[in-house]
Structure 1
Amino acid sequence: MAPIQNPRIIFNSIPEGYPIPGETLVVDTSESIDPDTAPLGGGALLKIICISVDPYLRGRMREPHIPSYFPAFPLHKPIHNFAVARVLRSENPDVKVGQHLYGWLDFTHYQIVDAEGLKKLRVLPEGTGVPWSAYVGAAGMPGQTAYYGWKVLEPKKGETIYISTAAGPVGSAVVQLAKAAGLKVIASAGQEGKLQFLRELGADVVFNYKTANLEEILKEHAPIDIYWDHVGGKTLDAVLPRMNLHGRILIVGHVSSYNSKPDPVYNLDQFLALRIRMYGFLVTDHEEQYGKEFYDVVPGKIARGELKYTETVVHSLEEAPQLILDVQQGNNAGKAVVVLEDN
């Protein structure tokens, strides 16, 4: 086969606010590859099937000297995230042609992964009835975040949980876990379609955080035993006085400050008054403990329709920068994913 174009999404400049398609992130078409003859060096050639778009990607678009829980994307290099890929060629005895692999891969069409890199990728089961796109959503990192975080919180039947930005891929899974465990669920989102999805999942109290009075709603349904926090800032501040004695807060994200300076939190005295426990949570910290259990349980629930999810899908890398911006602005519904191939 003659060499073919292998486009990539490049981190081109550090944004001051929201990432700008065509400026912060650009589609580079200068690279090409011959899938039949490209040297593998003991690794494997992968064809990217689908790539996840997640809010945390914005935090990696920063100066490299600024510390955070994941390293900054190198300027003028491809960005990467959780993806599913099919093996086209392999010189590695542990990786077979036709297998589907999951892990961190570039926003591109074809990628050669060396032997060390292949060790970090998970071989996915075939023929489960679960779409490959779900393996970067409800059956991937977002689903793992919900599942592992639920283990950390040790919820009890009859408790009340509030989930901010609950219609996303993590929050919607938490809503379903909470209802199955017998908790009262308060869930917020910013669009009517998202609110309807939360109602369909069985959330007990659903409201639009852009138009409703958060403090009044929390006051009406207090005390809150668990706050699943994706946003931080003013929302966290409003929740603190409405927590129950010995309440638990799981900090999963802080989207309110991803594209602007963080809002101050004033009600920190409530940690002492109510003996609140707050956990900073990263999914990668719990993979070894809960990973096998997750894959034994969750894909089957999805295949049987017991765990529901929604997606916003684009089908080209050219659309990916705009989808990344849409996620930051809350303009997508459910899991955002770039699907480059359907098999």
Structure 2
Amino acid sequence: MAPVTNSRLIFNSPPGDGPFEPGKTLVVDNSHSIDVDTVALDGGFLLKILFVAPDPYLRGLMVGPGQPALIDVPPFILGESIIAPSVGVVVRSETGDVKVGDHICGALPAQNYVVKPGLEAGLLVIQNQYNIPLSAYLGVAGLAGMTAWMAWKEFIGTAKKGSTVFVSTAAGAVGSFVVQLAKLDGCKVIASTGSADRVAYIKEFGADVAFNYKEESTDEVLDKEGPLDIYWDNVGTKTLDSALAHAATNARFISCGMISAYDTRDATVKNLLQLIAKSITIYGLNVATLIPKWAAEFFTEVPKLVAEGKVKFKEHRFEGLASFDDAFVGTMNGTINGTKAIIVVGSE
């Protein structure tokens, strides 16, 4: 086979304290090629990347040289491929860990082909015994799903029936699964999102009250529908302040993300005294710390729930690495048509 282009999505320019800059922060590099049949594997295996997910946490890795990432993950390296959640298929192998035709998911370089020395920590062979779409392993059956399901198991367990749960960024990949987990436990769910279409969408997933925070006051909605027993926070700042003000005594908060502060670095919260006044417990969520405990149960239960239709998901697919900017901005702004943006990089 003649060499083929091995396109890469590289980290080109740190955005600093400003917003992600399409066409500048990340760029596609088409200068590399690869001979799939002859490239040296040195005892490893060759993956063809099929899908990449432009997850919000990647924004926290776009920092300048010598600066720490905003989360506990190694930052991107200037001029190198970004590392992003991906699914690939093994096209050649010199290791007993994987065989040709196996599908692998995990954090991988965003490029067409990747040589790996072995099945490193964080890379999983997808068993897919329930035959759900492979791209689901980047969403509801992947990192987003693990974030929602594992944290709910760890910090909530089974919620008391009738509890009031508020989920911010509820139409996203994580939030929409949290909505469904809360409904499975018999909770009343309040869901905020950023457009009328996504309000309608998250109602289809079971939210009892859904509103567009850009057009309705979060405080006014929570005044009417609260107090809150559980708050799942994907936003931080003003929305967190509102939740604190409307929390019930002994409420539980799960802090999953602070998307409103990723660009500005301003995570100011004014109502922290409510933690004391209402005996609120707040859990900081780093899913990496939960995976060792919950992974086996997650991969046993969640794909089955998806296959049975008990947990729903919706994707918005983009074509090619060059579409990463659109997919990422849409994910960050909450404007994509679906809970999960998926970039289709290749086919089998």
Which of 250, 270, 273 is 2:274 aligned to? 270
Unaligned runs of at least 5 residues, structure 1: none
Unaligned runs of at least 5 residues, structure 2: none
Partner of 2:302: 298
AA at the equivalent of 1:304: E
> Do structure 1's residue 2 and structure 2's residue 2 form an aligned pair?
yes
* Separation in structure 2 between the aligned mates of residue 337 and residue 285 of structure 1, nearest angstrom: 25
Which of 334, 337, 340 is 1:335 aligned to? 340
Which of 184, 189, 194 is 2:193 aligned to? 189
Residue aligned with 1:145, SS: helix
> Do structure 1's residue 122 and structure 2's residue 128 form an aligned pair?
no
Map of 1:1-343 to 2, 5 A cutoff? 1-16=1-16, 17-63=18-64, 64-67=66-69, 68-115=71-118, 117-126=119-128, 128-151=130-153, 152-154=155-157, 155-332=159-336, 333-343=338-348
User: TM-score, length-normalised on structure 2?
Assistant: 0.95
Structure 1 contact 20–325 (Cα < 8 Å) conserved: no
Residue aligned with 1:279, SS: strand
Structure 2 contact 146–287 (Cα < 8 Å) conserved: yes
Q: Deviations over 1:23-74 (max 9, x none)?
A: 1100001111000000001100000111111111111101342353222111
Q: Which stretch of the first structure deviates more once superposed, 323-332 or 30-39?
A: 323-332
Q: Which stretch of the first structure deviates more once superposed, 176-185 or 125-134?
A: 125-134
Residue aligned with 1:245, SS: strand
TM-superposed CA distance for 1:221, in Å, is: 1.5
Q: Cα distance 1:222–1:309, how it changes in 2: closer, same or farther (>3 A)?
A: same
* Separation in structure 1 between the aligned mates of residue 28 and residue 346 of structure 2, nearest angstrom: 18
TM-superposed CA distance for 1:320, in Å, is: 1.2
Q: Deviations over 1:74-93 (max 9, x none)?
A: 11111011111100000101
AA at the equivalent of 2:54: V
AA at the equivalent of 2:96: P
AA at the equivalent of 1:336: A
TM-superposed CA distance for 1:321, in Å, is: 2.3
Structure 1 contact 18–328 (Cα < 8 Å) conserved: no
AA at the equivalent of 2:315: E
Residue aligned with 1:53, SS: coil
* Separation in structure 1 between the aligned mates of residue 94 and residue 264 of structure 2, nearest angstrom: 46
The count of aligned residue pairs is: 342
Aligned identity (percent) is 42
Q: CA RMSD in A?
A: 1.3
Could you list the structure 1 runs, at least 4 aligned residues long, displaced by more than 3 angstroms after superposition: 117-120
User: TM-score, length-normalised on structure 1?
Assistant: 0.96
TM-superposed CA distance for 1:342, in Å, is: 4.6
* Separation in structure 2 between the aligned mates of residue 318 and residue 263 of structure 1, nearest angstrom: 31
